[in-house]
Amino acid sequence: MAVYSDADAHAAHVAACDEAVHIGGPRPQESYLRGDVILDAARRAGADAIHPGYGFLSENAEFAVACARAGITFVGPTPAAIAAMGSKSAAKSLMEKAGVPLTPGYHGDRQEPDYLLTQAQRIGFPVLIKAVAGGGGKGMRRVDDSAGFAAALASCQREAAASFKDDRVLVEKYLTSARHIEVQVFGDHHGNVVYLFERDCSVQRRHQKVIEEAPAPGMTPERRRQMGEAAVAAARAVDYRGAGTVEFIATGDGFYFMEMNTRLQVEHPVTEMITGLDLVEWQLRVASGERLPRAQGELSIAGHAIEARIYAEDPTRDFMPSIGRLEHLQAPVQSAEVRVDTGVRAGDEITPFYDPMLAKLIVHGASRAEAISRMRMALAQYQIVGVRTNVEFLGRLMSAPAFVEARLDTALIERERNHLFAQRTETTPAMWDLVAQASWRAQREYGKGASVPRPTSPWDDRSGWTLGVRGERRWKFREGEVEREIAVPPAADDPAQGVVVRGNELHLFLEGEHRVFHRIDPYLPATEAADVHGGLLAIMPGRVLAVHVKAGDEVAKGAPLVVLEAMKMEQTITAPAAGKIARVLCAPGDQVREGAELLAFADQ
């Protein structure tokens, strides 16, 4: 049985389940964070268990307590374990007592901004501000100096409150050239705890994972045993039951406890791939009171697995989330070595209310090199039209020298920018021809669904047939700033299935690249772009959280002007140049579309 919000009424998970219950409005605070409403839905449906998924209430101790009081099994750890490990501050204090090495930082209860700044200065910049109840990169900011601390803290607190209903934060030393390695643990009600090896999650953007792989490259058996035993010790310290993940920051000299996620992780499929186990099945068995299906000595690693997160976002615009309708969606062919976990289908709307992840693409190979090769091929098969995505970026990532050579750390994307964001090569004549042929094919196919058999007369023939001379069509196309006229003969072969036609817009998917062409229709009047000179536009659709200026203010280049929230993330829009604010056209709480004018600058 599924629950759904107003925004998810037609979602794939609703269609897949036997029953579905509406629980509220589109914002998480109106639905998926409403434990009382979810419990009421479970009671009405006669459910005896609730699986909380990856986020929202999955690490909420109060919700776990409420489930117990209602006589409904919470498929997860005990409320005490969630409370102990769900708070990053409490977890670090517990690990410190247990002798587990910690990253230098402040994990106390005091939350006054001035006091937290003092702690950051004591620790030494750069520091990382992290939501105490956080996860998924929400409520997390790197700060490089005292001047930027207050704004980053306020932003973290807003994101944390919106995502987890808890605005408390901690401050830690930001370790450069470090790897993010996590260990999958499992416990049962009979005192058994095992670790199912590790995952490397170092490749990140916005402090959120993009690529995960298992096992971690370069991991020695001794280091694997040390980290696994430390993770098991952490789980035993709170009498842990069910699936959990103990996360570490690893350097050349050692490893440091970061946090424990008291839930199943988004990246758990890579662990399933290398162990041959179903971790959700394990969760349900443990929740039913059974013993763990296997002991530590019965667990082993086979091959290598990589997961890539497919996001609706624009990597060229600092990974800005993208919303819209999935007009076309073609995923890679699935097999024993290629798996696609997704909750969206062609025709679905990607809204600004939830995380912009569209799918998880997981591959397995006998070696890491084979897994990388398989991931490249699978990514090249992905076709998505309607929103911007990171698919092409992920393909480049798979060929980045640092990734291929396993020189991994959390700064890899920034370090490899020249490769990852390199300019495309010039569009080849063959690409223009493919697009032109696809446009002709689309025109020939137009109307074939009519009930009258075709052709009924020569005037219905769209093939371009002519008598005595070679017929052809000449069309103009544009890609970016480049225009070209193409002559297409009527006998041209149909192009490969790499061109998706949407009216006069044509999407070419070829060798991992996605290029967008426009057919220039000479019979359509040219449209004049709206004159927005001197205005500041919304760079994404979302809700206005804060406006930092008023009419008449003088602002410097880079000054924060407006804060937008979309897909559980904040984006601060800054001044593109020094100037004077003429008018403020938005207010906190406003829902704005992409491209909406937010501010107007005075003429200089």
Q: Is residue 550 part of a domain?
A: yes
Final residue belonging to a domain, choices 51, 82, 113: 82
Q: What is the CATH number of the domain that holds 51?
A: 3.40.50.20
Q: What is the CATH number of the domain that holds 352?
A: 3.30.470.20
Pair (374, 505) in one structural domain: no
**Number of domains making up the chain:** 5
Highest mean pLDDT among 366-370, 558-562, 574-578, 591-595: 366-370
Q: What is the pLDDT of residues 128-160, one digit of tens each?
A: 999 988 666 788 999 999 999 999 999 999 988
* CA dihedral (300, 305, 311, 316) positive or negative: positive
Q: What is the CATH number of the domain that holds 495?
A: 3.30.700.40
pLDDT band at residue 496 using 50, 70 and 90 as cut-offs: low
* pLDDT, position 465: 62
What is the C-alpha to C-alpha distance for residues 429 and 366, in angstroms, rounded to an integer?
39
Considering only CA atoms, which of 179, 175, 174, 176 is closest in space to residue 406? 179
* pLDDT for 335 beyond 70: yes
Q: Is residue 92 part of a domain?
A: no
Pair (193, 334) in one structural domain: yes
Pair (233, 283) in one structural domain: yes
Q: Is residue 88 part of a domain?
A: no
Pair (126, 244) in one structural domain: no
Pair (137, 237) in one structural domain: no
Q: What percent of the chain has pLDDT over 90?
A: 68
Q: Is residue 76 part of a domain?
A: yes
| Structural domain span for residue 507 | 429-446+461-520
Contact (Cβ atoms closer than 8 angstroms) between residue 534 and residue 580: no
Question: Which residue matches tokens 């990171």?
Answer: 390
Q: Could you tell me which residue, 321 or 90, shows the higher pLDDT?
A: 321
Q: Is residue 456 part of a domain?
A: no
* pLDDT, position 249: 92
Final residue belonging to a domain, choices 47, 82, 117: 82
Q: What is the pLDDT of residues 521-562, one digit of tens each?
A: 887 765 443 333 457 888 777 889 999 999 999 999 888 899
DSSP assignment of 207-252, as one string? TEESEEEESPTT--HHHHHHHHHHHHHHHHTTT--EEEEEEEEE-S
Pair (203, 274) in one structural domain: yes
Q: Is residue 90 part of a domain?
A: no
Pair (184, 168) in one structural domain: no
Considering only CA atoms, which of 264, 268, 257 is closest in space to residue 234? 257
Considering only CA atoms, which of 70, 12, 61 is closest in space to residue 41? 70
Pair (406, 491) in one structural domain: no
Pair (216, 156) in one structural domain: no
* pLDDT, position 493: 56
Q: Could you tell me which residue, 467 or 382, shows the higher pLDDT?
A: 382
Pair (167, 183) in one structural domain: no
493 CB neighbour count, 10 Å cutoff: 8
* CA dihedral (589, 593, 599, 600) positive or negative: negative
* Residues known to be catalytic: 263
Considering only CA atoms, which of 112, 156, 159 is closest in space to residue 130? 156
Final residue belonging to a domain, choices 477, 496, 520: 520
* pLDDT, position 457: 64
Pair (289, 394) in one structural domain: yes
Q: Is residue 52 part of a domain?
A: yes
Pair (248, 370) in one structural domain: yes
Q: What is the pLDDT of residues 239-275, one digit of tens each?
A: 999 999 999 999 887 899 988 999 999 999 999 999 9
pLDDT band at residue 373 using 50, 70 and 90 as cut-offs: very high
Q: Among 37-46, 194-203, 322-331, 454-463, which stretch is predicted with the lowest mean pLDDT?
A: 454-463
Dihedral, CA of residue 349, residue 204, residue 135 and residue 129, to nearest 10: -120
Q: Is residue 415 part of a domain?
A: yes
* pLDDT, position 85: 86
* Mean model confidence pLDDT for the chain: 89
* pLDDT, position 472: 74
Q: What is the CATH number of the domain that holds 135?
A: 3.30.1490.20
Q: What is the pLDDT of residues 385-422, one digit of tens each?
A: 999 999 999 999 999 999 999 999 999 999 999 999 99
